[in-house]
Amino acid sequence: MALLDIKGISKIYGSVKALQNIDLAVEQGEWLSIMGPSGSGKTTMMNIIGCMDKPTDGKVILDGIDISAESARNLTAIRRDKIGLIFQQFHLISYLTALENIMVAQYYHSMPDEKEALQALDRVGLLERAKHLPSQLSGGEQQRVCIARALINYPMLVLADEPTGNLDEVNEGIVMDIFRQLHSEGSTVVVVTHDPEVAEEAQRTVILEHGRIARITYNVGRESRKGE
Amino acid sequence: MFLRLVKGALFRQKKKMLMIAFTIALGASLATAMLNVMLDVGDKVNRELKTYGANINVLPKEVSLLDDLYGVSDGSGVLSESELGSLKTIFWAFNIVDFAPYLNVKARISGRDGEFRLVGTWFANHLELPTGEALDTGINNMKSWWSVEGEWPAGDDASAAMAGSIAAERAGLAVGDVISVSTGGGNGESVSLTIKGIFAAGSDEDERIYVPLSVAQGMAKRPGAVSSVEVSALTTPDNELSRRAAQNPKSLSVKEWETWYCTAYVSAICYQIEEVLTDSVAKPIRQVAESEGAILEKTQLLMLLITILSLAGAALGISNLVTAGVMERSREIGLLKALGAGNAPVSRLILTEILITGVVGGVAGYFAGLGFAQIIGQTVFGAAINIKPMVIPLVAILVFLVTLVGSVPSIRLLLSLRPAEVLHGR
């Protein structure tokens, strides 16, 4: 059974059809990219998969739960337990250190564990920056803190929205290395991007246009890619 | 972690939190000042009103009866001057501020036509009380609003007199004049008096000449007699219980009677006066007593309204500031929700921040309010306001409620925030 099974979802905002009759399944351990131009429905798709929005029609089954039928309260719990969110804008809390930003996710999930949070920072290469505030970190470093925060509660699905959108080439490389490592360790990753190079890193790329799936491409050739 | 979040938010938004604390402090200070003044204003206003005269008139029982039945106030009954000190032995002795006895005598002034009404009284009498204490009382305290030309006679001056402006004009008297007064068409013993002052009271008192009580008693040949006593007492505004008691104290149950007797209602004080003065009837001077009650109630109502308005203003201020704060922090709140924080934990976080600010503002406001209360006390009443400990829990509860009520719109906004909207704009 697919970890994420999207069945005929549509999302309509007033007269705007953001998504129309989307069918998509994401297997456990798969790396999927969602691409498309602005206004194609990428962010709407991410919000729905990330339990931050509900489709107008259709079903979304995540780990066997129909999240399109759950209450807002339950969606919060599902998001907390099953999904790790990575944002283009990082969204770190400005008055908390890098370490504390990670511990916030632990706090709302279960219990803060400083040792584990430090390990997460070490994993993204920022152990020595643990006590720094976001304002004292570069964009790439902030994104790595954001990734460490997304991973701290061992999510089933890592959902990244334009994770390299605000990064330079060097930092983009570092972040993509982390994603490759995640994938190699068996994490399921869904990356929403408009960058073809980032999209090509995934096993499969779904291209959205005007709220519909225009095409799906299968990316082959990378040795480290799992399942090939 | 929760404390780190709270601490971080408080220090990060220092200016906004200080503004909220200041708003709360302002509301708390006004509430503290007004509540302290309101709880103390009864005595202050009463004392202020006491300068405008007596509120209880004591008559001999016989005179009172004739007055009630036939509207005639003359009679042979008298009160005893020697018993007057016991007025300060009643249950509400400390509420008896001043009193003055009167004895009316009709007299003639040598060289002037017609009879004049002489009133024997204490100008300023030093009284040794049965309790061993001493009291200075008399009409110089009770008639402080009189406009006096000349001076008030000294208490021990047995040959001094004060003439009302109408009497003085009629008799052609001036300050310093020495007059010879006598009763019984000039056949009685004459007494020589010096006009120490001429007063204008704006009432029928202006037609009288006030003389020492002993002089009037001598002229009337009634030593130790008093025809009436005016008492100035601090009283509590009347209510249904006191009105029922005034009609007939025996109609009260034992519990009601105890409540009434142990409350400074004017009727209770009258009752207690009658207990200590033989064959006396003490009656409240209704206009004065009721006016005092009305003024007191209105003053307290005004204070209460100012308190309510200031707290409502504070609640509005808090509401605006906190809502603005939540709007500014919508991304942070959206992020917390995205990370899995439910509405309750996020609301708890924001409320904790606001309540901590409220405690700081409330404490600062309380102490500022104590200062305001003293300023009001000194400015309006010329006396310090007694600090009431019961104001502390009252202000604490009010600050808590106001902060909570002021936070309601922001909490509603917070609950309506959806992570997708604030993080992704949809």
Nearest to A91 among B341, B345, B423 (CB): B423
The domains found in chain A, sorted by start residue, are 27-54+77-218 (3.40.50.300)
Which residue in B has a C-alpha nearest to residue A96's C-alpha? B8
Say whether A107 and B2 touch across the interface (CB within 8 A): yes
CB pairs under 8 A between A and B: 76
What is chain A's alpha carbon radius of gyration, rounded to the nearest angstrom?
A: 17
Predicted local distance difference test score (pLDDT) of residue A228: 40
Distance from CA of B330 to the nearest CA of A (A): 11
Say whether A76 and B337 touch across the interface (CB within 8 A): yes
Predicted local distance difference test score (pLDDT) of residue A173: 86
Say whether B419 and A109 touch across the interface (CB within 8 A): no
- Name chain A contacts of B336, Cβ cutoff 8 Å: 104, 108
In the predicted structure, residue A225 carries a pLDDT above the cut 70: no
Residue B106, number of CB atoms within 10 A of its CB: 13
Percentage, residues of chain A above pLDDT 70: 96
Nearest to B342 among A50, A76, A94 (CB): A76
Name residues whose C-beta falls within 8 Å of residue A67's C-beta, 6 or more positions apart in sequence.
Answer: A51, A54, A60, A61, A75, A78
- Name chain B contacts of A81, Cβ cutoff 8 Å: 340
Say whether B426 and A91 touch across the interface (CB within 8 A): no
Distance from CA of A185 to the nearest CA of B (A): 23
Predicted local distance difference test score (pLDDT) of residue B194: 92
Express each pLDDT in B160-207 by its tens digit.
999 999 999 998 889 999 998 888 655 667 889 999 999 998 888 899
Predicted local distance difference test score (pLDDT) of residue A224: 46
DSSP element (H, E) containing B60: strand B56-60
Q: How far apart are CA B28 and CA A1, in angstroms?
A: 62
pTM, two decimal places: 0.63
Nearest to A91 among B335, B343, B345 (CB): B335
Say whether B9 and A95 touch across the interface (CB within 8 A): yes
Q: What is the 3-state secondary structure (H, E, C) of B131-152?
A: CCCEEEECHHHHCCCCEEEECC
Q: Hey, is the C-beta of B172 within 8 angstroms of any chain A C-beta?
A: no
Nearest to B419 among A52, A106, A109 (CB): A52
Predicted local distance difference test score (pLDDT) of residue B188: 65
Q: For chain A, give percent helix, strand, coil, nearest 5.
A: 35, 25, 35
Predicted confidence band of residue A14 (pLDDT cuts 50, 70, 90): confident
Q: Hey, is the C-beta of B70 within 8 angstroms of any chain A C-beta?
A: no
Q: Hey, is the C-beta of B14 within 8 angstroms of any chain A C-beta?
A: no
Q: How far apart are CA A156 and CA A83, in angstroms?
A: 6
Which residue in A has a C-alpha nearest to residue B329's C-alpha? A93
Sign of CA dihedral A116, A118, A122, A125: positive
Spell out the per-residue pLDDT of chain B, length 426, in tens: 778 888 877 777 788 888 888 888 888 898 888 888 888 877 677 666 666 667 888 988 877 666 665 655 555 678 888 888 888 888 888 888 889 999 988 888 888 888 889 999 999 888 887 778 888 888 888 888 888 999 999 877 888 999 999 999 998 889 999 998 888 655 667 889 999 999 998 888 899 999 999 999 988 888 889 999 999 888 887 788 888 887 888 888 889 888 988 888 888 999 999 999 988 999 888 666 666 677 777 877 888 888 888 888 888 888 888 888 788 888 888 888 888 888 888 888 888 888 888 899 999 999 999 999 899 888 887 778 888 888 889 888 988 888 888 888 888 888 888 887 777 655
